[in-house]
């Protein structure tokens, strides 16, 4: 992906609220996976590890005290994306999918810490599934996300999207 992204243009006042995804948009989880585990985590691409294998690696990190989701770096395009988000909405909300089961609480804490350490005092909403991001859609609501399916569901529910990548 190019490090300079095409930014969608919206008529002045069109965007009333912005929800912004973390992994793949602001947080470089793929880079973490590549550098720490030597794997690609694009689950839709043949030859990459499965989601089940991904969560096994996360488990192994946590088992040795490595807080994976707190330790991921920023994407090369995070600054550009976040600057635009703040122009549209000075009080944006981070919208991410949380972990399930025993890792749920620790991953949630690590994601909140990531937001505070990398962006500042912004709210974060964790949903159980990418499908539930569409629950936040509505007129004048923009979702910034790197997942095409999530973006399609959000638009179907009446929201606008900026698909990254
Ligand atoms: Mg994402």
CA of 23 to the centre of ligand 1 (A): 4
- Would you say residue 61 lies in a domain? no
Nearest to 125, CA basis, from 115, 80, 51:
115
Which of 12-16, 19-23, 40-44, 115-119 shows the lowest mean pLDDT across its residues?
40-44
CA of 63 to the centre of ligand 1 (A): 24
- Would you say residue 8 lies in a domain? no
Whole-angstrom CA distances from 108 to 78, 96, 99, 143 are 20, 10, 7, 20
- Would you say residue 127 lies in a domain? yes
> Which residues, 6 or more positions from 161, have their beta carbon under 8 angstroms from its beta carbon?
142, 143, 144, 145, 151, 154, 155
- Would you say residue 24 lies in a domain? yes
CA of 164 to the centre of ligand 1 (A): 9
Model confidence at 12, pLDDT cuts 50, 70, 90, reads: confident
Separation of alpha carbons 25 and 158, rounded Å: 22
Separation of alpha carbons 103 and 82, rounded Å: 28
DSSP-assigned beta bridge partners for residue 17: 141
CA of 13 to the centre of ligand 1 (A): 26
CATH of the domain at 82: 3.40.50.1000
- Would you say residue 12 lies in a domain? no
Q: Does residue 2 surpass a pLDDT of 60?
A: no
Separation of alpha carbons 78 and 84, rounded Å: 10
Average of per-residue pLDDT across 4-30: 94
Q: Which string of b and e fits 37-58 if b means at least 16 CB within 10 Å?
A: beeebeeeeeeebeeeebeebb
Q: Does residue 121 surpass a pLDDT of 90?
A: yes
Q: What number of helices (H) and strands (E) belong to the chain?
A: 6, 5
- pLDDT tens, position by position, 40-79: 998 777 878 988 999 999 999 999 999 999 999 999 999 9
Model confidence at 3, pLDDT cuts 50, 70, 90, reads: low
Average of per-residue pLDDT across 125-139: 97
pLDDT at 18: 98
- Would you say residue 46 lies in a domain? no
CA of 11 to the centre of ligand 1 (A): 26
Mean pLDDT over the full length of the chain? 94
- Would you say residue 138 lies in a domain? yes
pLDDT at 90: 97
Phi/psi at 52 (nearest 5 deg)? Answer: -65, -45
Per the structure, the complete domain to which residue 128 belongs is given by 17-28+74-163
Number of domains present in the structure of the chain: 1
CA of 139 to the centre of ligand 1 (A): 22
């Amino acid at each position: 992906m190019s490090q300079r992204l095409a930014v969608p243009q919206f008529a002045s006042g069109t965007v009333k609220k912005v929800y912004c995804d973390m992994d793949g948009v602001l947080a470089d989880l793929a880079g973490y996976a590549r550098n720490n585990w030597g794997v690609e985590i694009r689950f839709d691409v043949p030859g990459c590890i499965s989601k089940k294998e991904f969560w096994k690696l996360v488990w192994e990190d946590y088992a040795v005290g490595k807080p994976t989701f707190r330790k991921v770096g920023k994407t090369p395009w995070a600054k550009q994306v976040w600057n635009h988000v703040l122009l549209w909405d000075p009080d944006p909300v981070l919208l991410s999918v949380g972990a399930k089961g025993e890792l749920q609480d620790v991953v949630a804490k690590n994601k909140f810490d990531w937001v505070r350490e990398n962006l500042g005092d912004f709210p974060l909403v964790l949903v159980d599934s990418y499908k539930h991001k569409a629950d936040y859609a509505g007129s004048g609501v923009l979702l910034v996300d790197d997942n095409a399916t999530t973006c399609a569901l959000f638009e179907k529910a009446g929201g606008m999207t900026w698909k990254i990548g």
